[in-house]
Structure formats: structure tokens, C-alpha cells
Amino acid sequence: MKKVLLLLLSANLAWGWGFWAHRRINRLAIFALPESLFAFYRPYIEYITRQSTKPDERRVAFPSEPPKHYIDLDRYPANLPRQWREAVALLTEDTLHAHGILPWHLEKCFWDLVRAFKSREVGHILKLSAEIGHYLADAHVPLHTTSNYNGQLTGQHGVHGLWEALIPESFGEEYDYWIGRAYVWYNTRETLWTIIQESHALVPIVLGVEKEATAIVGEERKYTYRVRGRQTIRSYSYEFLQTYHKLLRGMVESRIRWAVLRLASFWYTAWQVAGRPSLSGSIVPVDSLPEDSIPEAKISDPRCGEVGISPYLLLRISDSYACVLTEAFASGGALAEAFQEICQGFGDIGELLGLAHGPGSTVGMLHSAPAPQQYLRAYSRIGVLHKREPWGRKETAGESEYPPISEVLQLSVHRRSRWHEFPQPL
């Protein structure tokens, strides 16, 4: 007897839109750009399309990746802060990562893209643009905003893949994708949270309509079986798909259309905020563009994006406090001047930041520096550390009794609000 595989369309995975929809959204967004940006993106349309699914490819391998794709609003309090540091202060970072950080991650991505435009890093611009398309598309999926993401709490297993993969793949070619031109967002944070709230408001409809369609078609005709290799696969019947799609009254088409328009507007707004840099001569060979699926940092920390960090600086650093160091080099001003004392004797800054975790890591090298007091004096100058901190040492302790650098870093994670305020979106 053949085994029956109950494949309820990724029943245990809350992945984003199916690959078809993600690629379609990224591709169409390019055509919604004004001429000035369309000319830049057009030669890389295949790359932008292909890279749209990279974040999903990372989900299984990297534990830090999944929380970037969703936010379980029903697990958060009604007074959930929209500013990352305030949310961490209220709920702790572990709680936020447990229930999803999608809107905060998108806000971080926005400022990463602004910096990439300013520096005219073509490969970085394109990689960020493609992956932002994935996360922004996920924000338009209702079931990415609820803990009942796959109907597992209401006896509707499989509804996630039904809504976001089977429906668009079955009927998406019939949708109207003429959406007009990209526009500038005047408040990035509020726009992102509006998208999340829109999606969350649709959750009861997504689930309620599935039950209604089941009642109309009947359990006996809801599923169909087909043979794939040596397995018999159970999937939704086409009759049920048609019924569910009709009862949704254009919801899936509408969310895809909004995702396309808002993605183009996201890119366009970042370019505007960056000062509308000229990209006319910024052409690189497609085969030289980054294709890897490695996250920018082993430990995801949206706070690094709040102070001007380039993801490339974090690419090879696995130290959990690496962003505390790298943001100092990226921020400029008095902070960067203070850290020049640290850099003396270490050679090229890029070489320092590229070190891997271990005895030769950034922290390890600073520990073994010939003049570690330079580092501590630098911290003291910027107000992160001073002699009256409650370290369990005497308040009048001399410089030689300052705490280990690892302790300084750990404290400074909670004090970054002293360093720089988050840049306000337009």
C-alpha cells in the first residue's frame, strides 16, 4: 500500500508568500519606479527577482532569521512601543525575537538602504533592495501578524500556504498589476506599522472565509490526491481553491498590488532621503553581485541600524557585541574621534572589523592591546563609562582598576541612547 503523505501546504512553516509571488512583487516594483531610478534598477531586474527568495532560504539554517519575517501582534500588549529601544525596555529583546520583529527590522533595513545609496555601493544597494522586497511583502500577508499563523489554533492547518502560495499561483496571472508610480513616504515608521495593522485586521476574514468555503464545498471535496513519485500527496482541490478565492473578494490581489507599490516607494524614499545621488554611471557586472545567503550578522540586532551601521561591517563578526564597536567607527563626530585612540596600533580599521570570533577577535585584540587604558579613556570621554559606575569597585578607583572591556561592552549595549538618537524619517 502506498504511503499517504499529508502535505497540507507547508503546514508547519510560516514562510512568506510562495516563491512565485515574492519574485513577481520584486520584479513589478521596478516598473513602478520613476525614470531616474528605473534606469538604475532595470539592468539588474533578473538579480532583484532571483534574490527575492534568499531570506526564506536562510530560515532553516539561521535561528536569527525567522523573527524578521513576522510579528505576532496578538502576543504583544496594546501599548507596544514602535521605537525599538522603548520596546526592548518594556518587553526585553528575547521576548521581541520570540514573537517577531518584522516592522522594526524593516525600519533598520530602510536606513541601511539610505546609507548604501549615499555611498553608491551598487552591490549593497541591489542586495538590500531585493531582500527588503521579501520582508515588505511578508508584512502584507495577514497570517504573518498572528500567532495562529497556520490555523493551528483553530483547526485550519494549511491555511497559510493556501492563502499566500496556492491562491496567487493559481489565479495570479489574471490579476491587474497596473498600480501607478512610486511616491515618497513622509514617515517611514508610521507607514510600516500601518501596513502591519492593515494585514492584522484581515486575519479574521482569512480564517473565517476558509471555514465558509469548507462548508460550501464539503470536507469530502475539499482535498484531492495526486501521485508524486512513490508518494500520494493530499492537497486542496481546485474546486475549493476557486470557492475560497471568490469569497476573499480580491484580497490576495489587493495585498500583492499594495506590496508592489509600497516596495517601489520604499526604494524611492530611501533614495530621496539619501540626497538623490546620481547612479547613472554606477554599473557593475551582474555576475559580480553578492549571491550568498549568509545573514549580515550572526546575532540579529536591529539597534545597530539605529546608529548608522553598515551591514557589511558586521558580515564576518560573530561577537554578540560587535555592533557596539562597529557603530563607533560608522557614527563620526566626537565618538569616532574618541575611538581613534583605540585604533592606534591596530592598522587598518576594516581589517580590525573583519576579524572572526576567538582569540583574535575584536574584543580579544582590545583585551591584549599594549595600551588598553587608551580604550577605556576613549569610553570615558564619550560618557559611556566613568569612575562612579557601580561596578563593585571603589568609586575612587584609578584607571588601572577599570572593568574588563567585555563588561564595558555589555553595559554599553544598554546605553546606546546616549550616543545617538535614531534619525527621524521624513
For residue 93, what are the contacts with CB-CB under 8 A and spacing of at least 6? none
- Please write the tens of the pLDDT for every residue from 369-395: 334 444 444 444 333 333 333 333 333
Instruction: Tell me the residue length of the chain.
Output: 426
183-to-179, 260, 277, 370 alpha-carbon distances in Å: 11, 12, 17, 54
Reported pTM: 0.67
Number of Cβ atoms within 10 Å of the Cβ of 205: 15
> Within the chain, which residue ranges are assigned CATH 1.10.575.10?
4-288
Report d(CA 38, CA 43) in Å as an integer.
Answer: 9
Residue linked to cell 574584543: 363
**So what's the pLDDT on residue 287?**
65
**So what's the pLDDT on residue 359?**
39
Residue among 410, 421, 77, 139 nearest 266 (CA)? 139
**So what's the pLDDT on residue 159?**
96
**So what's the pLDDT on residue 63?**
87
For residue 18, what are the contacts with CB-CB under 8 A and spacing of at least 6? 161, 164, 165, 166, 168, 169
Q: What string of DSSP letters covers 356-405?
A: PSSTTSHHHHHHT-S-HHHHHHHHHHTTS--TTS-SSS-TT--GGGPPPH
> Do residues 20 and 169 touch, judged by C-beta distance below 8 A?
yes
Element (H, E) at 232: strand 231-236
**So what's the pLDDT on residue 231?**
81
User: Which grid cell sits at 250?
Assistant: 480580491
- Please write the tens of the pLDDT for every residue from 252-281: 999 999 999 999 999 999 999 999 999 877
All residue ranges of the chain with pLDDT < 70 are 1-17, 228, 282, 285-288, 291-426
Burial of 378-404, coded b for 16+ CB within 10 Å and e otherwise, reads bbbbbebbeeebebeeeeeeeeeebbe
Q: What number does CATH give the domain 4-288?
A: 1.10.575.10
